[in-house]
């Protein structure tokens, strides 16, 4: 059984930063590839970033590249999403996920209606507004 618990969301002004955390527990195989997704009001859920230990892959959606950084603390089984230079369009509920397919076009793959990670966290709200 995989459990994912996110934290770190909040309200910030444009240009500020936030760091999200996701504490994971469960089988090593299920937790190898993890990622962050987000869903803004009235929009489809979208893939933001993923990290795979086995393949040494890290990928970002174009909309967050050079602003967001995903990292992983292997010893504590926690992944982080450092979000810098936040914009109002980054406002969304952010979800941690495990059992992710992490490759270069992962963000396009997860636009497919049939594509879903194996496990989801409960989500954490990020609001960027002046």
Q: What is the pLDDT of residues 17-52, one digit of tens each?
A: 999 999 999 888 788 899 999 999 999 999 999 999
Give yes or no for a contact between 107 and 61, defined as CB atoms under 8 angstroms apart: yes
| CA distances to 55, 66, 114 from 6, in Å | 24, 22, 24
pLDDT of the residue at 95: 98
pLDDT of the residue at 58: 96
Residue in this structure with the two tokens 């995989």, named with its chain if needed: 2
Question: How high is the mean pLDDT of the chain?
Answer: 94
106: Cβ contacts below 8 Å, ≥ 6 apart: 35, 47, 50, 59, 100
Torsion of CA 117, 75, 16, 64, to 10 degrees: -40
pLDDT of the residue at 28: 80
Q: What is the pLDDT of residues 43-98, one digit of tens each?
A: 999 999 999 988 789 999 999 999 999 999 988 889 999 999 999 999 999 999 99
């Amino acid at each position: 059984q995989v459990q994912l618990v996110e934290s770190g969301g909040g309200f910030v002004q444009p240009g500020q930063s936030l760091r999200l955390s996701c504490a994971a527990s469960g089988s090593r195989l299920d937790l190898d590839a993890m990622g962050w997704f987000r869903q803004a009001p009235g929009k489809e859920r979208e893939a933001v970033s993923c990290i795979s230990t086995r393949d040494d892959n890290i990928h970002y959606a174009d909309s967050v590249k050079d602003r967001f950084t995903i990292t992983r603390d292997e010893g504590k089984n926690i992944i982080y999403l450092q979000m810098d230079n936040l914009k109002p369009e980054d406002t969304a509920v952010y979800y941690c996920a495990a059992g992710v397919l992490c490759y270069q076009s992962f963000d396009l793959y997860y636009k497919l209606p049939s594509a879903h990670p194996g496990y989801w966290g409960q989500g954490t709200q990020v609001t960027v507004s002046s």
